[in-house]
A and B are shown apart, each in its own frame.
Chain A
Amino acid sequence: MSETKNTFTLDGQPVVFEAGQTIMNAALAAGHYIPHLCHHREFKPHGSCKVCTVRVNGWLSASCTTPASAGAKVESEAPDIQEARRRIVQMLFIEGNHFCPFCVKSGNCQLQAVAYHLGMEDTSLPHRFPSRAMDASHPDVVLDRDRCINCSLCVRASRDADGKDLFGLSGRGIDTHLVVNSSTGLLKDTNIDANDRAIQVCPTGALLVKRRGYEQPIGERRFDAQAIECEFESKY
């Protein structure tokens, strides 16, 4: 099999990769969706949410941080992997305070869309109902930590795209939380702008632009008619 030099198989289908590419980026470039939340093709991988876990030659590994290797056998949609992903997303839901029925981001939320993709219908675990501080101090931007899943996309986008370095993750384990890089720790004392990439890449409704919401009627939102995998399979 000489053609396996730059090829691995994803659920039995050959995927060609370029040197240095991760399994995730090679799969997405070839039009194969692997569910993910903390990954974004514009930014360095973080490998923290584990939703993109695949089995590479028998070993579980985050596909967003694992380099593609020639001849690797990658399993993504095996029932046990999908079940583990569903459990991870359920844990993200019960760990925070995700009130989908009235959330501004509902219908456009990637956390919700990944849950739909994985066939998640309920949370099944005890809810934590944590008490987290909201930062509504800035005139144009609000940070609702109830909805934050600590994916660090805003941290990377603010540092690498906006050039502002406004966010960071602090604490460990269950106490991990998003912090704002200003003298007061509040958004009002930063130079964040409503057009910042950091806000746009938030997969949930944790970072939102004020005075904008419910702009599309139910039925016309991003994930109402089309599942998230369709978006990725058609875009690349």
Chain B
Amino acid sequence: MNAPTEQPARLTVATCSLAGCFGCHMSFLDVDERIVELAQLVTFDRSPLTDVKHCSERVDVGLIEGGLCNVENVEVLREFRASCRYLVAVGSCAITGGVPAVRNKFTLESCLREAYIDAPGIDNPHIPCDPEIPLLLNKVRPIHEVVRVDYVLPGCPPPAEAFWELLTALIAGREPELAYEHRRFD
């Protein structure tokens, strides 16, 4: 007799890392046992956590950590952006370039020389140029300089509570609101 009630469509969530340290992903996992609850509310798509390499056709929320330091980062970001309804810049590197952007004070050539030619104890000094290795960008860039960003989670890393607030808000169809203590630049 009971007609099956229509379940709201489960949100699809993808995650991705560019020039970052995976610290943001580790912080996401600090939601601890709530990951079980989350897995019942959303479907995980492309992510280092699922080892799926490319997004499905339709992803609702894409969380991306890390900035842009090479051409592969740019390609991955553009593909990810095209797949995601809402793109979330996660952490200092995605939002500002972060620690990798410290090299922006120096020319790319001087960075490569320091690492591969001039540093002490180097055998066969030469700058790697294998086509398998993505070319480095002249400057490390935050992702908003290349694609449109819908939401941000500041922090290095953002606390697990910030991830939880963002995802539960989007699941509930409301705007995320980060508490003062969960809105940090460090």
A contact residues vs B (CB 8 Å cutoff): 93, 97-103, 106-107, 112, 115-116, 121-124, 126-127, 129, 131, 218, 224-225, 227
Residue with the greatest number of chain B CB neighbours at <10 A, chosen from A97, A99, A112, A227 = A99
Q: Which residues of B contact A127 (CB under 8 A)?
A: 96-97, 101, 141-142, 145
Taking chain B's interface residues, is the majority helix, strand, or loop, or is none over half, making it mixed? mixed
Asked whether A224 lies within 8 Å of B145 as measured between CB atoms, the reply is no
B43 within 8 A of A: no
Asked whether B95 lies within 8 Å of A101 as measured between CB atoms, the reply is no
Asked whether A129 lies within 8 Å of B180 as measured between CB atoms, the reply is no
- Count of B residues near A, CB < 8 Å? 27
- A197 and B92 CA atoms in complex are apart in Å by 32
B105 within 8 A of A: yes
Asked whether B105 lies within 8 Å of A131 as measured between CB atoms, the reply is yes
Q: Which residues of A contact B149 (CB under 8 A)?
A: 122
Asked whether B141 lies within 8 Å of A115 as measured between CB atoms, the reply is no
Residue of A with least CB distance to B105: A131
B117 within 8 A of A: no
Asked whether B183 lies within 8 Å of A101 as measured between CB atoms, the reply is no
Asked whether B152 lies within 8 Å of A122 as measured between CB atoms, the reply is yes
- A93 and B185 CA atoms in complex are apart in Å by 12
* Given A100-B156, A227-B180, 5 new contacts (CB under 8 A): A99-B102, A101-B92, A122-B89, A123-B95, A129-B101
B144 within 8 A of A: yes
Residue of A with least CB distance to B156: A101
Residue of B with least CB distance to A218: B186
Asked whether A103 lies within 8 Å of B105 as measured between CB atoms, the reply is no
Tell me the minimal C-beta distance from B110 to chain A in angstroms.
12
Listed from nearest, the 7 A-B pairs whose CB atoms lie closest are A101-B156, A100-B185, A129-B104, A122-B152, A106-B186, A100-B186, A122-B95
B178 within 8 A of A: yes
- A227 and B185 CA atoms in complex are apart in Å by 14
* A116 interface neighbour in B95, B105, B183, Cβ under 8 Å: B183
Given the interface pairs A112-B185, A116-B180, the reply to whether A101 lies near B144 with Cβ below 8 Å is no
Q: Which residues of A contact B99 (CB under 8 A)?
A: 99, 101-102
**Docked complex: B110-167 residues within 8 A CB-CB of A:** 139, 141-142, 144-145, 149, 152, 154, 156
Asked whether A123 lies within 8 Å of B142 as measured between CB atoms, the reply is yes
The interface bits of chain B over 163-186 (1 if a CB of A lies within 8 angstroms of the residue's CB, else 0) are: 000000000000000101101111
- A112 and B156 CA atoms in complex are apart in Å by 14
Asked whether A225 lies within 8 Å of B181 as measured between CB atoms, the reply is yes
Asked whether B152 lies within 8 Å of A129 as measured between CB atoms, the reply is no
Residue of A with least CB distance to B107: A131
Asked whether A129 lies within 8 Å of B139 as measured between CB atoms, the reply is yes
Given the interface pairs A100-B156, A124-B144, A227-B180, the reply to whether A129 lies near B105 with Cβ below 8 Å is yes
Residue with the greatest number of chain B CB neighbours at <10 A, chosen from A103, A116, A122 = A122
Q: Which residues of B contact A116 (CB under 8 A)?
A: 180, 183-184
Residue with the greatest number of chain A CB neighbours at <10 A, chosen from B92, B98, B185 = B185
Q: Which residues of A contact B152 (CB under 8 A)?
A: 121-122
Residue of B with least CB distance to A112: B185
Q: Which residues of B contact A123 (CB under 8 A)?
A: 95-96, 142, 144
- A212 and B173 CA atoms in complex are apart in Å by 47
- A103 and B96 CA atoms in complex are apart in Å by 14
Tell me the minimal C-beta distance from A124 to chain B in angstroms.
6
